[in-house]
Amino acid sequence: MRNSWLGLSLGVLTSILSGCGKKSPEGETLTQDEVPYCANKTEFSRVAGTSGTGLVFDLNPQVSANDPSLLPTSPKIENLAAPVKLERLLGYGILNGEFVDVRNGLCEKSSIGAFSEENNFSYPHSDPRFPEVMSYYYGDQYRKVTQDAGVLLPEDPVIVLANCPIEDNAFFTRDLNDDGTFRNIVCLGGSSIFSSQKATFADDAHVVIHELQHAQSTYSYSPKLGINRLIYDEGGALNEAISDVVGLMNTYERNSSAFDVKRFSVWGLGSLFGTDGDFSRGAHRCPTYDPTYPRCTNYKSDSSGFSTETNTVSFNYPDGMGWPYAGFYSGARAVRNAFVENKSHQQIHQSSIVMTGALYEVFEIFVKSRSDVSTVREFMMKVISRSLQRLPKPNKVISVSPITFPGFFMEVVSAADFYGASSGELTEVKRIGEERGLYDAPQLGPNWANVIGMRFEEISGSAKYDGKLNPGDVGRVWFNIQNVDSLTAGGVLVDFKVPDGSAIEVISEEMNDGFVSDQQAMIRYGKVNGTAIVSALNSTDVSRSLPLKNDYFGTYTTQDGNAAYQDSGIFIKVKKGASPGPQSAQLRLVPANGPEVILPITIEVIAE
Ligand SMILES: [Zn+2]
């Protein structure tokens, strides 16, 4: 029997791992003469058995070396990997199996790289086939767990492209084929800083599992609809949190005592960006720059768990949303600097931390009560899959972005019950939810919101780029929502609508992910501070204080203006020849932790 492995052509690439990708896909494709490590053919016969051998890191180079301070420049890395048994191969002498189909981005048309008639895939780290073996081994092991749990999706093998031609990033993409089916691809790129050391994201098993879990999560939610709808929505953050926690659960037994089992990707995200940053994440209740980390003894479920004076941050909902987990912050101004220097406050990989920690603690509840980690892992895979499946789907009437963290946690409680959690275990799961502010949490009062301003940023149109809406202007608009409640509003859906005949029009779907019609669009704001967190972060010590406010602009704005919320604008235009004067519009605001508020607003169209 023969089979064909044709090359891939990657379409539009959406990066979802680090959010720090600096360059768009480029990467040269070499001709096959120059790349002896490529199989140099697309037709393969069955020549080998279904098991083989390969060399892989034990999770990552640091764990393999039992050295938490090992750097990507260490010459030790070349020969650190240890032999493992590769299983479930299909027998073609290539890294193609029941669960994953590995390709090499350095080979022509991203075709097959490693080939061995004996299924012997033992290469040193610098060999371009090494990341293929890491991808196969960890991808296969993780997908087997998911199959054993009875929830594997998609059922077909996922293509994993090692040496994917993208720098400083990794992602999963579900591409629509011409015939209406999907092609599922995980892309594992390389480090730009450590390219001469051949460092790629496949060197970190967490990253391999994280990306494959995106495939699992996406299909669990819906065979067709994506989880991520709007740039800063909690669906996107949830997607990241689940991928991180599944990575941690699947490497639970691999860590030696020198390593923290709750740290996610200390190698890929923590080390491969060098001095550009430590983007690693984790499941502890406070960030690495909190002096009580990792015990997090100052953790509180509400705004009292924050202080710029004691450098306390608590990963609770909603105030803990958007704080970096790690980074090079230390000293008396650590918390202030973490906020000011890291502008990704609403970014989904940063907002994910609260849910990652909560889900990890749920996992720990069952590990404690049931003792056998592998059955608990399968139980958790079932709970997560069912919870995702039951989440609301987008619609243009209620919400184009209906997933919220509290809504998901409610499904976790219900799914744990469905799969037979005892009443004692369920009580503990609910307690975790309450302590993280995700379950049975305090809610905002009925009239929590006002609109106290707006910002308009022109892209094209009139000659005057003056922040005013002139006839013919095209640009983005943000509304400054003020929250008069003491509690912070989490995940605020902003539903903007203008009446028939308005001089203002919403621009197309290509510009607005939350497009409903030319009179309506939705967007999500990460959170809007309540008055309590504002007081908690302000300090009489001016050098440490974060003078934030209880409105959307004042939740994220620091010294440099609007950098932190620039992507959450709605794209609109003012009709050419419109008469100047007030235009009425409406904002419907739907927080994840309180009642919706409908506010009429007026927007002035100014003559040029
Ligand atoms: Zn991701």
Query: Quick one: three-class SS letters along 304-325?
Result: HHCECCCCECCCCCCCCCCCCC
Using one digit for the tens of pLDDT, what is the confidence trace for 559-574?
A: 555 656 778 999 999 9
Answer whether residue 365 shows pLDDT above 90: yes
pLDDT value of position 410: 98
Answer whether residue 363 shows pLDDT above 70: yes
Please tell me the distance between residue 26's alpha carbon and the centre of ligand 1 in angstroms. Answer: 21
Please, is 150 exposed, middle or buried when counting C-beta atoms within 10 Å of its C-beta (0-12, 13-18, 19+)? exposed
Please tell me the distance between residue 471's alpha carbon and the centre of ligand 1 in angstroms. Answer: 41
Please tell me the distance between residue 238's alpha carbon and the centre of ligand 1 in angstroms. Answer: 10
Instruction: Kindly list the protein residues that place their beta carbon closer than 5 angstroms to ligand 1, a single-atom ion.
Output: 16, 240, 243
Please tell me the distance between residue 201's alpha carbon and the centre of ligand 1 in angstroms. Answer: 12
Q: Average pLDDT for residues 428-452, to the nearest whole number?
A: 98
Pairing mode of beta strands 182-190, 158-167: parallel
Please tell me the distance between residue 17's alpha carbon and the centre of ligand 1 in angstroms. Answer: 4
Answer whether residue 554 shows pLDDT above 90: yes
CB-CB contact of 491 with 318 (8 Å): yes
More confident residue, 35 or 534: 534
Beta pairing partners, 475: 458, 572
Beta pairing partners, 3: 44
CB-CB contact of 584 with 601 (8 Å): yes
Please tell me the distance between residue 239's alpha carbon and the centre of ligand 1 in angstroms. Answer: 7
With bands split at pLDDT 50, 70 and 90, how would you rate the model's confidence at 18?
Answer: very low
Mean pLDDT of the chain: 92
CA 432 distance to own-chain centroid: 22
pLDDT value of position 312: 98
Answer whether residue 480 shows pLDDT above 60: yes
Q: Average pLDDT for residues 284-299, to the nearest whole number?
A: 98
Round to whole Å and give the CA distance between 497 and 519.
6
Please tell me the distance between residue 15's alpha carbon and the centre of ligand 1 in angstroms. Answer: 8
Please tell me the distance between residue 210's alpha carbon and the centre of ligand 1 in angstroms. Answer: 6
pLDDT value of position 19: 34
With bands split at pLDDT 50, 70 and 90, how would you rate the model's confidence at 12?
Answer: very low
Output the pTM of the full model: 0.94
Taking alpha carbons only, the member of 89, 5, 88 closest to residue 44 is 5
pLDDT value of position 560: 57
Taking alpha carbons only, the member of 318, 384, 314 closest to residue 351 is 318
Round to whole Å and give the CA distance between 444 and 589.
12
Answer whether residue 14 shows pLDDT above 70: no
Answer whether residue 498 shows pLDDT above 60: yes
Answer whether residue 9 shows pLDDT above 50: no
Q: Average pLDDT for residues 159-188, to the nearest whole number?
A: 92
Using one digit for the tens of pLDDT, what is the confidence trace for 385-409?
A: 999 999 999 999 999 999 999 999 9
Please tell me the distance between residue 352's alpha carbon and the centre of ligand 1 in angstroms. Answer: 10
Answer whether residue 31 shows pLDDT above 90: no
Using one digit for the tens of pLDDT, what is the confidence trace for 197-233?
A: 999 999 999 999 999 999 999 999 999 999 999 999 9
Please tell me the distance between residue 185's alpha carbon and the centre of ligand 1 in angstroms. Answer: 13
Please tell me the distance between residue 453's alpha carbon and the centre of ligand 1 in angstroms. Answer: 34
Answer whether residue 194 shows pLDDT above 60: yes
With bands split at pLDDT 50, 70 and 90, how would you rate the model's confidence at 558?
Answer: low
Helix, strand, coil abundance in the chain, percent, nearest 5: 30, 25, 50
What b/e string do you get for 54-80 counting C-beta neighbours within 10 Å, with b at 16 or more? bbbbbbbbbbbbeeeebebeeeebeeb
Using one digit for the tens of pLDDT, what is the confidence trace for 441-461?
A: 999 999 999 999 999 999 887
Q: Average pLDDT for residues 169-189, to the nearest whole number?
A: 91
Please tell me the distance between residue 171's alpha carbon and the centre of ligand 1 in angstroms. Answer: 7
Residues contacting 189, CB < 8 A, separation 6+: 21, 164, 165, 166, 167, 168, 169, 170, 200, 201
pLDDT value of position 585: 98
Please tell me the distance between residue 279's alpha carbon and the centre of ligand 1 in angstroms. Answer: 13
Please tell me the distance between residue 94's alpha carbon and the centre of ligand 1 in angstroms. Answer: 27
Structure tokens at 551: 């409105």
Please tell me the distance between residue 539's alpha carbon and the centre of ligand 1 in angstroms. Answer: 35
Please tell me the distance between residue 183's alpha carbon and the centre of ligand 1 in angstroms. Answer: 18
With bands split at pLDDT 50, 70 and 90, how would you rate the model's confidence at 133?
Answer: very high
Round to whole Å and give the CA distance between 578 and 311.
52
What letter would DSSP give residue 29? P
Please tell me the distance between residue 457's alpha carbon and the centre of ligand 1 in angstroms. Answer: 30
Please tell me the distance between residue 243's alpha carbon and the centre of ligand 1 in angstroms. Answer: 6
Using one digit for the tens of pLDDT, what is the confidence trace for 77-118?
A: 999 999 999 999 999 999 999 999 999 999 988 789 999 999
Please tell me the distance between residue 59's alpha carbon and the centre of ligand 1 in angstroms. Answer: 18
Round to whole Å and give the CA distance between 87 and 73.
32
Please tell me the distance between residue 242's alpha carbon and the centre of ligand 1 in angstroms. Answer: 9
Round to whole Å and give the CA distance between 11 and 532.
46
